[in-house]
Protein backbone atom coordinates (compact mmCIF):
# COMPACT_ATOMS: atom_id res chain seq x y z
CA UNK A 1 0.00 0.00 0.00
CA UNK A 2 1.44 3.31 -1.04
CA UNK A 3 0.38 6.46 0.80
CA UNK A 4 0.38 9.36 -1.63
CA UNK A 5 -0.19 11.83 1.18
CA UNK A 6 -2.77 13.65 3.24
CA UNK A 7 -4.00 17.15 2.53
CA UNK A 8 -6.72 19.55 3.63
CA UNK A 9 -9.58 20.52 1.33
CA UNK A 10 -12.10 23.25 2.04
CA UNK A 11 -15.37 22.39 0.33
CA UNK A 12 -18.67 24.19 -0.07
CA UNK A 13 -19.93 26.18 2.91
CA UNK A 14 -16.49 26.10 4.57
CA UNK A 15 -16.58 22.37 5.36
CA UNK A 16 -12.98 21.27 5.92
CA UNK A 17 -11.97 17.76 4.82
CA UNK A 18 -8.81 15.88 5.65
CA UNK A 19 -8.14 13.80 2.51
CA UNK A 20 -5.89 10.73 2.46
CA UNK A 21 -4.78 9.36 -0.87
CA UNK A 22 -3.57 5.75 -1.18
CA UNK A 23 -2.76 3.36 -4.00
CA UNK A 24 -3.12 -0.37 -3.42
CA UNK A 25 -3.35 -3.70 -5.21
CA UNK A 26 -5.41 -6.80 -4.53
CA UNK A 27 -2.68 -8.38 -2.38
CA UNK A 28 -2.84 -5.37 -0.02
CA UNK A 29 -6.63 -5.47 0.46
CA UNK A 30 -6.29 -7.02 3.92
CA UNK A 31 -4.37 -3.97 5.09
CA UNK A 32 -7.39 -1.75 4.54
CA UNK A 33 -8.98 -3.07 7.74
CA UNK A 34 -5.87 -2.02 9.68
CA UNK A 35 -5.99 1.63 8.63
CA UNK A 36 -6.87 4.08 11.37
CA UNK A 37 -8.74 7.26 10.49
CA UNK A 38 -8.41 9.43 13.59
CA UNK A 39 -10.63 12.14 12.11
CA UNK A 40 -13.55 9.67 12.23
CA UNK A 41 -13.16 9.50 16.01
CA UNK A 42 -15.00 6.45 17.42
CA UNK A 43 -16.43 5.47 14.04
CA UNK A 44 -13.13 4.57 12.35
CA UNK A 45 -14.23 0.91 12.10
CA UNK A 46 -17.32 2.02 10.18
CA UNK A 47 -15.10 4.03 7.81
CA UNK A 48 -12.79 1.00 7.36
CA UNK A 49 -15.78 -1.19 6.48
CA UNK A 50 -16.96 1.34 3.89
CA UNK A 51 -13.45 1.67 2.39
CA UNK A 52 -13.23 -2.13 1.96
CA UNK A 53 -16.74 -2.17 0.44
CA UNK A 54 -15.78 0.51 -2.11
CA UNK A 55 -12.54 -1.31 -2.98
CA UNK A 56 -14.40 -4.60 -3.47
CA UNK A 57 -16.92 -2.85 -5.73
CA UNK A 58 -14.07 -1.81 -8.04
CA UNK A 59 -13.04 -5.43 -8.84
CA UNK A 60 -9.51 -4.14 -9.39
CA UNK A 61 -7.85 -7.62 -9.38
CA UNK A 62 -4.10 -6.97 -9.81
CA UNK A 63 -4.46 -3.42 -11.17
CA UNK A 64 -3.54 -0.53 -8.87
CA UNK A 65 -6.51 1.24 -7.31
CA UNK A 66 -6.24 4.88 -6.30
CA UNK A 67 -8.44 5.70 -3.32
CA UNK A 68 -9.16 9.07 -1.78
CA UNK A 69 -10.79 9.10 1.65
CA UNK A 70 -12.05 12.50 2.81
CA UNK A 71 -13.24 12.97 6.37
CA UNK A 72 -14.67 16.31 7.45
CA UNK A 73 -14.26 18.11 10.70
CA UNK A 74 -17.49 18.04 12.71
CA UNK A 75 -20.14 20.26 11.16
CA UNK A 76 -21.01 23.51 12.85
CA UNK A 77 -24.63 24.43 13.41
CA UNK A 78 -24.48 26.95 10.56
CA UNK A 79 -23.07 24.37 8.12
CA UNK A 80 -25.79 21.88 9.08
CA UNK A 81 -28.46 24.55 8.59
CA UNK A 82 -27.14 25.43 5.12
CA UNK A 83 -27.06 21.76 4.07
CA UNK A 84 -30.60 21.26 5.39
CA UNK A 85 -31.77 24.35 3.46
CA UNK A 86 -30.37 22.76 0.28
CA UNK A 87 -32.28 19.60 1.12
CA UNK A 88 -35.52 21.61 1.35
CA UNK A 89 -34.84 23.36 -1.98
CA UNK A 90 -34.29 20.02 -3.72
CA UNK A 91 -37.52 18.62 -2.27
CA UNK A 92 -39.48 21.69 -3.41
CA UNK A 93 -37.98 21.61 -6.91
CA UNK A 94 -38.77 17.92 -7.32
CA UNK A 95 -42.32 18.44 -6.05
CA UNK A 96 -42.88 21.37 -8.44
CA UNK A 97 -41.56 19.44 -11.42
CA UNK A 98 -43.71 16.37 -10.78
CA UNK A 99 -46.81 18.41 -9.89
CA UNK A 100 -46.43 20.51 -13.03
CA UNK A 101 -45.93 17.51 -15.29
CA UNK A 102 -48.85 15.63 -13.74
CA UNK A 103 -51.13 18.68 -13.96
CA UNK A 104 -50.24 19.06 -17.63
CA UNK A 105 -50.98 15.40 -18.42
CA UNK A 106 -53.94 14.82 -16.07
CA UNK A 107 -55.35 17.75 -14.11
CA UNK A 108 -54.38 20.11 -11.28
CA UNK A 109 -56.50 18.01 -8.92
CA UNK A 110 -54.14 15.10 -9.52
CA UNK A 111 -50.95 17.20 -9.76
CA UNK A 112 -51.19 18.72 -6.28
CA UNK A 113 -51.28 15.38 -4.38
CA UNK A 114 -48.50 13.99 -6.59
CA UNK A 115 -46.34 17.03 -5.79
CA UNK A 116 -47.00 16.64 -2.07
CA UNK A 117 -46.12 12.94 -2.24
CA UNK A 118 -42.87 13.62 -4.09
CA UNK A 119 -41.91 16.30 -1.54
CA UNK A 120 -42.53 13.85 1.32
CA UNK A 121 -40.53 11.11 -0.42
CA UNK A 122 -37.55 13.38 -1.10
CA UNK A 123 -37.59 14.74 2.47
CA UNK A 124 -37.53 11.17 3.83
CA UNK A 125 -34.78 10.07 1.42
CA UNK A 126 -32.29 12.92 1.78
CA UNK A 127 -30.38 13.01 5.07
CA UNK A 128 -30.79 15.64 7.77
CA UNK A 129 -27.57 17.17 9.07
CA UNK A 130 -26.86 18.21 12.65
CA UNK A 131 -24.07 20.07 14.39
CA UNK A 132 -21.25 17.63 15.13
CA UNK A 133 -21.97 15.25 12.24
CA UNK A 134 -18.91 14.10 10.30
CA UNK A 135 -19.08 13.61 6.53
CA UNK A 136 -17.00 10.89 4.87
CA UNK A 137 -16.37 10.73 1.13
CA UNK A 138 -14.63 7.75 -0.48
CA UNK A 139 -13.60 7.79 -4.14
CA UNK A 140 -11.80 5.02 -6.02
CA UNK A 141 -10.33 4.81 -9.50
CA UNK A 142 -8.78 1.97 -11.51
CA UNK A 143 -7.17 2.49 -14.92
CA UNK A 144 -6.77 -0.41 -17.30
CA UNK A 145 -8.71 -3.57 -18.01
CA UNK A 146 -11.96 -2.50 -19.67
CA UNK A 147 -11.01 1.15 -19.31
CA UNK A 148 -11.01 3.66 -16.50
CA UNK A 149 -13.49 2.90 -13.73
CA UNK A 150 -14.58 5.24 -10.96
CA UNK A 151 -16.88 4.99 -8.01
CA UNK A 152 -17.75 7.14 -5.04
CA UNK A 153 -19.54 6.57 -1.77
CA UNK A 154 -20.49 8.77 1.15
CA UNK A 155 -21.17 8.20 4.80
CA UNK A 156 -22.53 10.44 7.54
CA UNK A 157 -21.28 9.76 11.05
CA UNK A 158 -24.04 11.02 13.33
CA UNK A 159 -23.21 12.51 16.70
Q: Using alpha carbons, select from 57, 72, 35, 62 the residue that is nearest to residue 139.
A: 57
**Contact by Cβ (8 Å): 66, 5:** no
Residue-wise pLDDT tens digits, 88-120: 888 888 888 888 887 777 777 777 778 788 888
Residue-wise pLDDT tens digits, 67-80: 999 999 999 999 99
- Looking at every residue in the chain, the average pLDDT score rounds to 87
pTM of the prediction?
0.81
Q: pLDDT band at residue 17, thresholds of 50, 70 and 90?
A: very high
- Which H or E run includes 13? none
Task: Look at residue 145 and tell me whether its pLDDT is greater than 80.
Answer: no
Determine the 3-state secondary structure of 63 from DSSP.
Answer: coil
Task: Look at residue 21 and tell me whether its pLDDT is greater than 90.
Answer: yes
SS (H, E, C) 92-121: HHHHHHHHHHHHHHCCHHHHHHHHHHHHHH
- CA dist list (Å): 143 to 2, 52, 59, 63: 16, 19, 12, 8
Task: Look at residue 138 and tell me whether its pLDDT is greater than 90.
Answer: yes
The whole-number pLDDT of residue 85 equals 92
Amino acid sequence: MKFEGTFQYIGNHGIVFSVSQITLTDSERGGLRELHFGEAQNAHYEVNRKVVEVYDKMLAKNLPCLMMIGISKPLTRQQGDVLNAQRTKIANLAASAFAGATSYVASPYVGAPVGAGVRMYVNETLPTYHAGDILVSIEAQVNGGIGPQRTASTLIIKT
